[in-house]
Amino acid sequence: MIEDQDDILDSRIKLHDRHRFEIKLDIDLDEEAHSAYEVETYFFVPRALNVGPHNYGREKFYNASQRYIRFRTPKISIGKLCDPSLAASPLNRVRQDLSKALSGDASPALTAAICDELRLLGCIIRGEIRDYVKIFVEGLATYAGSAPGAQRKLFVGEGLENFFSDLKNLETALSSLRAEISDPAVPLKIRETAAFFDEYVSLILEEYLTSLVEALRASPEAGGRFGEIEKEAVRMVTAQNRYRQAMKYPSVLIPGSSNETIIYRRGVLKKFISSVLYLKAEFSEWETLTQVVFGLAAGAAMLFAVLVTVYFQQRYAVTSMPFVVALVVSYIFKDRIKDWLKTLFSKNMTRWISDHKIEIMDPLAGASIGLLKEAFTFINDKALPPDIARLRNIDNITSVDEEGKPERICKYKKEILLYPERIMKYHERRRGLNDIMRFNIRDMVEQADDSAVDYPYVDPDTGALKTAACARVYHMNLVIKYTYSDRKAQPKINYERIRIVLNKDGIVRLEEVLLA
């Protein structure tokens, strides 16, 4: 994973799977009436892949991309989640509202509030366990035999003990909550949501604590130092599958079987729980200025066809062959002119027009909290901004490198305008945002050559003729420009340069190119 840290925008680029990579922005909101940011992504695609405007239009690009905007998971430590004095804890809010439900309040608003808090609690638990385990795994790596004793992160020991103490307290609190929710007086929707939450937390504990056990056992020194902690981790991990089996949850691991149910179920539960953070996007493809510009293109093309028709009508009879031929030719050129003008306008007017306009809605408040506009187009070398061209060529070794790797350039621009005051009006915990884009490169490598090629050579020692299998890869480069602006200061600009190494089968790896 490649990260870039900034005061307002934190970006992370990572490999999602064999064919997809993900660009994730963490956005901190201040109390400005408006906050705006732009992301310009320039794709430098090798010409050998035969990707261009003729076979890779807007529709293909947008079909290959998934865009999400959601609230960032609130940060509340596991220990504080169980603190009865913390009013912001979803666990405490569920308990408070649950007492009303047990007193006979079955209003839809109360039910929705409890279900919302349960799902938010699931998101926070997952985020905290994930982050803690990540820190501990990195710290345990310093206990390897090759690492000097002075470099060992001593906080790991005490931190792990506190972590498992907090987990035990959380288990106790959740067990007590589960008993309360099982009361028949609690509305069915709350009980069903609680069951999903319970199954999800069990899977999260199993997944991340297994990673921790793996890290402990990877280092004999760490295993000896944290032997009791490892036993506790193993106890908690092995208890989870048995617990889900006892509760008759579908996500039970059965050794020797295909186990497709547990993976499918985990995905369903994750989407259900995390949906509490997702914002609703209302797409609109009808942009006034865009349609005016494209209307002008159609009008110009029609004017050409009319002028040709009038000219030939004056010289030839309407029923004559020359007039018929001229009419057909003018019709053909009319469509070509219209398409050419639309492409020209799209390339040179993306600052004012967009392919999509998306209203960002907060489902809880039922109000618009922002606006997203996006546009995609191919551009030529001459239209490439100087700052982007410099970063693209920053790792060239010689002045002729550029000629040896011809590329086509496509640009995706995204502009988002946010209204932080509306967000803060309805939310005290969900304020930061995640802007996530996943991009699928499958169509881009459709015409790539085979991923391996035989390379004949003569063995220098024996003189024998041999063949070596060599990997064939392509380098697709990304230059990303982030611009954040508010009413307080000058816009802040950051850049990233990523090399995506591809082959016929998908993404081989991501490489960050230093911009120093």
- If you write DSSP's letter for every residue of 281-303 in order, what string do you get? EEEE---HHHHHHHHHHHHHHHH
Residue type, position 339, single letter: D
The Cα diameter of the chain in Å comes to 100
CA distances, 9 to each of 3, 42, 335, 382 (Å): 11, 19, 44, 30
d(CA 23, CA 479): 12
Check residue 1 and give its pLDDT. Answer: 60
User: 245: pLDDT confidence band, cut at 50, 70 and 90?
Assistant: very high
Looking at per-residue confidence, does 149 or 122 come out higher? 122
Taking the CA atoms of residue 504, residue 506, residue 511 and residue 512 in that order, the dihedral angle to the nearest 10 degrees is: 120
Axis crossing angle, helix 188-218 with helix 155-181, rounded to the nearest 10: 160
CA end-to-end distance (rounded Å), the chain: 20
Residue type, position 260, single letter: E
Q: Please answer whether residues 487 and 2 qualify as being in contact, where contact means their C-beta atoms are separated by less than 8 angstroms.
A: no
Question: From its phi and psi, is residue 15 left (phi > 0), alpha (psi between -120 and 50) or beta?
Answer: beta
Check residue 19 and give its pLDDT. Answer: 93
Range 487-498 average pLDDT: 80
Q: Which of 336, 409, 407, 417 is nearest to 376 (CA)?
A: 409
pLDDT tens for 339-351 read: 665 565 555 544 5
Q: What is the pTM of this model?
A: 0.78
Q: Which of 173, 191, 199 is nearest to 95 (CA)?
A: 173
pLDDT at 139 over 50: yes
Check residue 424 and give its pLDDT. Answer: 78
Half-sphere exposure of 216 (CA within 13 A, CB side): 22
Listed in sequence order, the residues at least 6 apart from 238 whose beta carbon sits closer than 8 Å to its beta carbon are none
- Which tokens hold the place of 398? 């010689």
Q: Please answer whether residues 355 and 62 qualify as being in contact, where contact means their C-beta atoms are separated by less than 8 angstroms.
A: yes
d(CA 135, CA 39): 30
pLDDT at 31 over 90: no
- Which tokens hold the place of 216? 């402990």
User: 288: pLDDT confidence band, cut at 50, 70 and 90?
Assistant: very low
Q: Please answer whether residues 372 and 281 qualify as being in contact, where contact means their C-beta atoms are separated by less than 8 angstroms.
A: yes
pLDDT at 403 over 70: no
User: 246: pLDDT confidence band, cut at 50, 70 and 90?
Assistant: very high
Q: Please answer whether residues 473 and 510 qualify as being in contact, where contact means their C-beta atoms are separated by less than 8 angstroms.
A: no
pLDDT at 400 over 60: no
d(CA 225, CA 211): 18
Q: Please answer whether residues 297 and 290 qualify as being in contact, where contact means their C-beta atoms are separated by less than 8 angstroms.
A: no
d(CA 75, CA 70): 15
Q: Which of 341, 362, 164, 176 is nearest to 282 (CA)?
A: 362
Among 176-185, 313-322, 404-413, top mean pLDDT goes to: 176-185
Range 351-367 average pLDDT: 77
Q: Please answer whether residues 138 and 289 qualify as being in contact, where contact means their C-beta atoms are separated by less than 8 angstroms.
A: no
Check residue 140 and give its pLDDT. Answer: 81
- From 104-113, 391-400, 423-432, the region with the lowest mean pLDDT: 391-400
d(CA 189, CA 101): 12
Q: Please answer whether residues 378 and 409 qualify as being in contact, where contact means their C-beta atoms are separated by less than 8 angstroms.
A: yes
- From 66-70, 297-301, 474-478, 483-487, the region with the lowest mean pLDDT: 297-301
Provide DSSP, 231-292.
HHHHHHHHHHHHHHHHTT-S----TTS--HHHHHHHHHHHHHHHGGGBPEEEEE---HHHHH
Half-sphere exposure of 471 (CA within 13 A, CB side): 11
pLDDT at 6 over 50: no
- Long-range contacts: 460-467, Cβ < 8 Å, 24+? none
Percent of the chain with pLDDT over 70: 82
Containing H/E element for 421?
helix 420-426
pLDDT tens for 202-238 read: 999 999 999 999 988 887 777 677 888 889 999 999 9
